[in-house]
Structure 1
Amino acid sequence: MLDKLKINKKLIRELDFSAIIIVLAISLFGAMNIYSAVGISVFKSQIVWILFGMVLLYFILVFDYSLIQGYANIIYWSGVILLALNDTIFKSTVNGAGSWMKIGSVTIGQPSEFAKLGMIIMIAKKLDSMEGNINNLKNFLNLAMYAAIPMILIVIQPDMGMMMVCFFIVLGIFFAAGLELKVIGAGLASIITLIAIVWNSPLMHEYWKIRLISFLDPEADQLGAGAQLFQSQIGIGSGEILGKGFLKGTQVAGGFIPESHTDFIFAVVGEEWGLLGAVFLLTLYGILIYKFINIARTSKDIFGSMLSIGVVSIMLFSIYQNIGMTIGVAPISGITLPFMSYGGSSYITNIMAVGLVLNVGMRRKKINF
């Protein structure tokens, strides 16, 4: 039994250890900033999640990713069922979004985090079975259906931030699969039109409007809806080139930036580590994404390639959206910064995603045992 939980030495030689080191470096840097933002208790919890994540990463690497393809239906529909249960029975609302599942007095996480991974696996499997022929109308509608089901359930919660993540995951996969640009353009235009139509309808929740309005004109209400962004910009700007120093951030320490250990963790980076710290973090992300794109490009099959592209799409959009909302170039949403923000379900899902991509990478070549 234990032999089955060991990775063959020939496969280990194909594993990109530098990617794991980068993920660990970002995670520990994130934990330091979490400690600075909210103290030792939450820091300890994050360290536990990091350690658990590293163990989980190992187990994901043990099994050939092609086995996951065989369980795609179970993984996908399990995520959909969890979303449905979250929408109807176990919903817990935090900051306007009912995306948290709560059983009794225990909040157990966000099913949408795991559902988005199931969506990637399912779409990748379908594209593989279609031999990548996405421009066939029947194939496209089939893929669109599997994308739409979890996204509709996420909108019902409502959680517009996660819905945006899922939309850009699908957009990234479809683009990489070769979907005609006119179809992609029509899809983007449809989304903009849909937002305009529902703006004054009951479907448009008031807190969505407030966030969009505060993004377009944050100075209009600096003590209200625009306060979080305004304080974040002050903190990041005051960090200048070198930052104020670890544990010396006045905006963070003074509690002026809400959710500084989760959604607004980049504000801590900007204030305490300055431009150099921000560039350091973005460089690590850039190297990691480059490695993942290379794995997608050289995968031995369509499933592995699309799986990797889906994870790249998560990373790219989450990084842009999270950092963008702290500096005012994206609307505020509950999107966490991968491996930096505090949160168990978010961290574990990101580790699982990384594990899947590295699994694809280490099995690119035919190895004779």
Structure 2
Amino acid sequence: MKFLQSLRLNKKLLRELDYVTIIITICIVIFGCVNIYSATVKNYETHIFKLQIMWFIVGLVVLCILLAFDYMLIENYAVIIYWASIILLIIGDVFGKVTNGANSWINIGPVNIQPSEFAKIGMTIMIAKKLDEMEGKINDPKNLLELIFYAAVPMLLIVIQPDMGMTMVSFFIVLGIFYCIGLNYKVIIGGITSILILVVGVWNSPLMQSYWKVRLLSVFTPGKNITGAGLQLDQSKLAIGSGGIFGRGFGNGVQFNSIPEHHTDFIFAVLSEEWGLIGALMLLLLYGILIYRLIKIAKESKDIFGTVLCVGYISSLLFLIMENIGMTIGLMPITGITLPFVSYGGSSMLTCFISLGLVLNVGMRRNKINF
């Protein structure tokens, strides 16, 4: 009975909810759905568009459910959540569906899920719990090694798939958390240097997939690979450039049809062609407002656990936006990374709303509520 009563949202809590962040997010999702419709209606009619709307609704429902729980309750189940996500990753590594060269998907009936999307949330929750227990003392060598262990397990399992994009996202989540919690700069620089040395070491090893090399090199040699990543990048640039300042107008884009995955990874090329520079800047403005408000929540959190949850999601969001848009214009390597709340994808949409729900939860309960 007490548990059910704990799920009731008091009016005082509802007044603390950041409705502006929810409205901004909904605007971004609607803009994404409009562009997904334009990108897919010719080949899929309204099937893809309807699926995205369905995941949008599911995401909103999950967000509302999460708001009913005190996020401190989630901390109590952090260990279960973390190891459940690890088991999901292992299942994906062994029995996963191979997509674009990676065992990164699991079929559950008619639904495909991407375990790594959920693993990054589990990893963030676990690191947040440990840092809370450590009272933020991240520069203690023993504490740091423990945190690195919990970060390394999911990242290694993602590397095995292999999924370069999600590995990079996970790394930047951890880097963002460690930086904001106050890890010594020398340790951060030493860690990044070690990783760069490691990357150089495995470049010619079997661990380095050939298509990873092509995608990385395509950033520095655009147009060289006219049948693979180079062609994809060139077509993306052509679509974005043809949009000009004001765009060709909704439904009038044609260049993006030559881009593989134009409704998922390369959705930015679609919206840039149809809505032009103005549309692209409007999306970036919405993202900017969203991130600003999330940072505000992180600063006002009443505890370390809440702060780390926020920082982890903010780090993920920043990197996803930077990497996805960057790869469509040739500034970043091409990876299977989606544009948050905009690209088509059930796992991406659902985990974005889960993460947002956790952050909003922290914001709602930043002050002690007296009933």
Give TM class, smaller chain.
over 0.9
| Structure 1 residue 222: Cα displacement | 2.8
- 1:355 aligns with 357
Is 1:54 aligned to residue 56 of structure 2? no
Of the three residues 142, 154, 157, the one matched with 1:153 is: 157
Question: Counterparts of 1:338-349 in structure 2 under 5 Å?
Answer: 338-349=340-351
Listed as ranges, the matches of 1:225-264 within 5 Å are 225-252=229-256, 255-264=257-266
What percent of counterpart residues are identical? 61
Find runs of 4+ consecutive structure 1 residues off by over 6 angstroms. Answer: none
**Equivalent position of 1:98 in the other structure:** 103
Q: Which residue of 1 aligns with 2:273?
A: 271
Alignment of 1:14-29 (within 5 A): 14-29=16-31
Alignment correspondent of 1:64: 70
What SS does the aligned partner of 2:177 have? helix
1:131 lines up with 2:135 in the alignment: yes
1:93 Cα offset (Å): 1.2
Letter of the structure 1 residue corresponding to residue 279 of structure 2: G
Counterpart of 1:102, as a letter, is N
SS in 1 for 2:224: helix
Q: 1:110 aligns with which of 100, 110, 114?
A: 114
What is the SS of the residue equivalent to 1:13?
A: helix
**Residues 213-270 of structure 1: CA deviation (Å, up to 9, x unaligned):** 1122122123433011100000001111101001110112xx2011011000000111
Contact 1:100/1:107, CA 8 A, preserved across alignment: no
Cα offsets for 1:55-85 (capped at 9, x unmatched): 1110000010000000000000000011011
Give SS of 1:226's match. Answer: helix
Q: Distance in 1 between matches of 2:6 and 2:183?
A: 40
2:294 and 2:314 in contact (8 A); partners too: yes
1:308-345 C-alpha deviation (Å, 9 max, x unpaired): 00000010000000000000000000010000000111
Change (3 A) 1:107 1:196: farther
SS at match of 2:205: coil
- For normalisation by structure 2, the TM-score amounts to 0.96
Q: Which amino acid aligns with 2:187?
A: V
1:162 aligns with 2:166: yes
* Alpha-carbon distance, 1:195 to partner: 1.1
Give the 3-state SS of the residue equivalent to 1:85 in structure 2: helix
Partner secondary structure for residue 98 of structure 1: strand
Task: Compute the displacement of 1:102 (Å).
Answer: 2.9
- Whole-angstrom CA distance in 2 between matches of 1:74 and 1:354: 21
How many residues align? The count is: 365
Unaligned runs of 5+ in 2: none
